[in-house]
């Protein structure tokens, strides 16, 4: 159970503590923030409402701990990360339980998220040891006008304090995708979890605590965005922000100042279906891509663009599979579970009603109980409907019938988002041309969009984000290049010949 066993020290009465200076603490505010269970719609947990003074303290500690951490050998940093990964995986059950209660993630997916996170941390440790242990060696005579009098050595150095802000839908996995790269690269880390997902994050942070990371190196502050949100993102002690979430990221990027930013802000991933596609494969991927975790994934398929000649057949196949989805509580490992908040459910309903008013074809009856929304395929969606462009983050999937591939590409590229997309066809040559024409960070050929495996590069164009993620890219992003140039008194050329001629020159 949450907050018991090895996790008992993170709980005080009915409220979870925050993590600062290697200790679990109660906020001096004396206030807490309630976390509402999406299924019961009742308060499930409470977390500390941290103050700006507590954020200042965490920043001060992070700055000083980083100086020592940067001098810690790379292999030791990796060793601690491996230890944290093992502890996290060992405690997958109580952490998964938090995910079920806080964000209504289906039971099996909740366990998968924790295990995937442990694997991500271990891979990060290994990748860090490889790529941070290497640098470049350049010589000056490759640039016109230079003799070989300068040797340039490059290495990667940490940025300082990294602020990590993960979203509610993967509070553990998208937190460790920021924490792991930051730490292996020699940075310190301040984590601001999402409100829903905060308790899962606190449990995950405790696994790092148990692994024995130095005091102050990792901190986790919880609280209201209105009190500490801007204060954190505009804090002068922050040297890098890695954020995943909605369009709040756009305002963060405007206020953050001159520091590196890594942002993933959602998508409207298109699924383009050509006439020669394997429609059973497409239907299976639409179900997986559009409805897993009730569509609450940045990489979910959010619009199907299908050639008119195969649209009827595809819609029938998808309808048949939608009918088999299990709808209900996450504890029962249902496919479709309640969406994260009542306001999300209301927003989704608004999109559905707009489509209804404008004449979309409902393939199922619209049904909602509390935050639980039944899966819904909307056929014959037109560009004047909000659902054609907006991201529902729910189990609602629009189908737009197209008469040419160009029409599909045009719709995809007219979106303000550009995260991922997918194309289904048996013609690989066409697939490559379409992939090149789609203005998205990734295009999947004959499969639904997805971020993983976690070492693959992951990036969005346009409003979908800044920079590239994936383990290697995140490590790179959380470092700077440092160069040392050795200036020689006279040109020196490597002869590459026998020892005798080298001896004769000296």
Shortest Cβ 450–ligand G3H spacing (Å)? 4
Point out which span in 1-9, 222-230, 291-299, 425-433 binds ligand G3H (CB under 6 A).
291-299
178 touches ligand G3H by CB under 6 A: no
Q: Output 355 or 448, the one with its CB closest to ligand G3H.
A: 448
Give the interface segment with ligand G3H, choosing from 75-83, 192-200, 445-453, 483-491 (CB under 6 A): 445-453
Nearer to ligand G3H, 112 or 149 (CB): 112
Instruction: Name the closest residue to ligand G3H (Cβ).
Output: 298
Place of tokens 């040891």: 129
CA distances from 22 to 10, 31, 80, 210 (A): 12, 21, 15, 10
Give the contacts of 444 (CB within 8 A, at least 6 positions apart).
Answer: 420, 421, 422, 423, 450
- Supply the minimum distance, in Å, between the C-beta of residue 261 and ligand G3H: 16
H or E stretch at 351: helix 342-357
Binding mask 405-444 vs ligand G3H (x if CB under 6 A, - otherwise)?
Answer: ----------------------------------------
Quote the CA–CA distance of 203 and 194 in Å, as a whole number: 14
DSSP states along 357-383? HTT-EESS---EETTEE--EEEES--T
Whose Cβ is closer to ligand G3H: residue 10's or residue 172's? 172
298 vs 378, which CB is nearer to ligand G3H? 298
317 binds ligand G3H (CB under 6 A): no
DSSP-assigned letter for residue 467: S
Choose between 302 and 401: whose C-beta lies nearer to ligand G3H: 302
209 binds ligand G3H, rule: CB under 6 A: no
Residue 43 CB-half CA count within 13 A? 8
* Residue 179 to residue 226: CA distance in whole angstroms: 24
Cis check: omega of the bond before 467, within 30 degrees of 0: no
> What angle do the packed helices 92-103 and 107-132 form, to 10 degrees?
120
Which one is catalytic: 54, 102, 113, 264?
264
Number of residues that bind ligand G3H (CB under 6 A): 8
Which pair of tokens denotes residue 42?
């009742």
Return the bridge partners of 137, or none. 153
- Is 19 a binder of ligand G3H (CB under 6 A)? no
Under the binding rule (CB under 6 A), the answer on residue 291 touching ligand G3H is: no
Binding range to ligand G3H, per CB under 6 A, among 18-26, 59-67, 234-242, 295-303: 295-303
Residue 390 annotated to the active site: no
Q: Which two tokens stand for residue 232?
A: 């954190």
Answer yes or no whether residue 172 interacts with ligand G3H by CB under 6 A.
no
Candidates 36-44, 296-304, 355-363, 368-376: pick the segment binding ligand G3H (CB under 6 A).
296-304
User: x/- string (CB under 6 A) for ligand G3H, residues 447-476?
Assistant: ---xxx------------------------
Which of 170, 213, 389, 417 lies at the binding interface for ligand G3H (CB under 6 A)? 170
Is the torsion defined by CA of 236, 207, 453, 108 positive or negative?
negative
Which segments within 10-87 are labelled E, that is strand? 11-12, 15-16, 18-20, 23-25, 32-36, 43-48
CB 162 within 8 A of CB 189: yes
Q: Does 337 bind ligand G3H (CB under 6 A)?
A: no
Is position 262 an interface residue for ligand G3H (rule: CB under 6 A)? no
Running DSSP on this structure, what letter comes out for residue 389?
T
- Residue 246 as a binder of ligand G3H (CB under 6 A): the answer is no
Catalytic residue numbers? 264
Contacts to ligand G3H by CB under 6 A: 169-170, 297-299, 450-452
């Amino acid at each position: 159970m949450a907050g018991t066993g090895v996790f008992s020290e993170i709980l005080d009465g009915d409220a979870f503590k925050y993590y600062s200076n290697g200790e679990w603490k109660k906020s001096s505010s004396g206030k807490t923030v309630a976390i509402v269970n999406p299924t019961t719609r009742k308060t499930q947990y409470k977390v500390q409402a941290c103050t700006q003074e507590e954020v200042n303290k965490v920043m001060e500690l992070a700055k000083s701990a980083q100086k020592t951490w940067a001098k810690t050998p790379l292999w030791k940093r990796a060793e601690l990360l491996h230890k944290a990964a093992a502890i996290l995986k060992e405690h997958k059950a109580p952490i998964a339980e938090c995910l079920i209660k806080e964000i209504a993630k289906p039971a099996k997916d909740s366990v998968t998220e924790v295990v995937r996170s442990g694997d991500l941390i271990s891979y990060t440790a290994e990748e860090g040891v490889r790529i941070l242990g290497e640098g470049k060696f350049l010589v000056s005579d490759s640039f016109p006008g230079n003799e070989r009098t300068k040797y340039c050595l490059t290495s990667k150095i940490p940025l300082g304090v990294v602020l990590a802000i993960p979203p509610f839908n993967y509070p553990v996995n998208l937190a460790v995708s920021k924490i792991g790269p930051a730490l292996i690269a020699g940075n310190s880390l301040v984590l601001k979890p999402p409100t829903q997902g905060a308790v899962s994050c606190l449990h995950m942070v405790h696994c790092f605590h148990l692994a024995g990371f130095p005091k102050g190196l990792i901190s986790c502050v919880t609280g209201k965005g209105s009190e500490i949100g801007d204060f954190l993102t505009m804090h002068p002690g922050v040297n890098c922000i890695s954020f995943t979430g909605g369009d709040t990221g756009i305002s963060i990027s405007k206020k953050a100042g001159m520091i590196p930013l890594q942002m993933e802000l959602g998508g409207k991933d298109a699924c383009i279906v050509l006439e020669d596609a394997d429609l059973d494969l497409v239907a299976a991927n639409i179900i997986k891509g559009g409805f897993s975790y009730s569509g609450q994934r940045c990489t979910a398929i959010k619009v199907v663009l299908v050639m008119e000649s195969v649209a009827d057949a595809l819609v029938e196949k998808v309808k048949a599979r939608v009918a088999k989805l299990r709808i209900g509580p996450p504890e029962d490992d249902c496919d479709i579970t309640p969406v994260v908040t009542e306001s999300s459910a209301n927003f989704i309903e608004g999109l559905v009603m707009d489509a209804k008013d404008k004449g979309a074809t409902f393939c199922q009856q619209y049904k909602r109980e509390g935050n639980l929304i039944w899966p819904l395929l909307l056929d014959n969606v037109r560009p004047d409907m909000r659902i054609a462009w907006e991201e529902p983050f729910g189990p609602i999937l629009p189908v737009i019938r197209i008469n040419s591939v160009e029409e599909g590409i045009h719709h995809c590229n007219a979106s303000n988002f550009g995260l991922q997309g997918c194309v289904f066809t048996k013609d690989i040559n066409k697939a490559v041309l379409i992939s090149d024409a789609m203005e998205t960070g990734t295009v999947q050929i004959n499969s639904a969009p997805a971020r993983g495996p976690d070492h693959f590069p992951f990036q969005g164009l346009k409003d979908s984000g800044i920079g590239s993620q994936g383990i290697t890219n995140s490590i790179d992003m959380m470092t700077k290049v440092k160069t040392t140039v050795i200036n020689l008194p006279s040109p020196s050329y490597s002869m590459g010949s026998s020892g005798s001629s080298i001896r004769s020159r000296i």
